[in-house]
Amino acid sequence: MQSAKQLQAFASNVWRNAGKQRDVRPETMTSDEPILAIDLGTSGPKVALVAFGGDILAWEFEPVRLHLVQGGDAEQSAVEWWEAIGAAARRLTATTGVTRVAVVGATA
């Protein structure tokens, strides 16, 4: 499990490098560069590698805890989301050998 400090460093690095990304318009993407798709659902994130044509190449799921609070509300930890996304993405890259993606997309 990563510490909050490690996650903050990771997030800072992502933001620092955000402006350095290459052109990812559809006409510049190639079929050998999959999309890293993240669906943040209530039970946890599903992370997939998706081919430009829409085929799902591989996917992983990592559960996160759902905290039920008084009054019927539910909460989740953003730190757990990041850790779960990272764990699932690491498993994907380990099992598929993919080291580069064209773009990252997320839904919630």
What's 89's domain CATH number? 3.30.420.40
What is the Cα–Cα distance from 12 to 92, expressed in whole angstroms? 23
Whether residue 61 is contained in a domain is answered as yes
Query: Which residue, chain included where needed, has tokens 């690095």?
Result: 13
Whether residue 6 is contained in a domain is answered as no
Whether residue 85 is contained in a domain is answered as yes
pTM: 0.68
What is the Cα–Cα distance from 8 to 91, expressed in whole angstroms? 21
The whole domain housing 79 covers 32-107
Tens digits of residue pLDDT in 23-44:
555 565 556 788 889 998 888 9
Q: Give the ranges where 1-108 is alpha helix by DSSP (H).
A: 4-18, 78-96
Tens digits of residue pLDDT in 52-73:
878 888 999 999 999 898 898 9
pLDDT at 47: 92
pLDDT at 91 over 80: yes
Counting the structural domains of the chain, the total is: 1
Whether residue 37 is contained in a domain is answered as yes
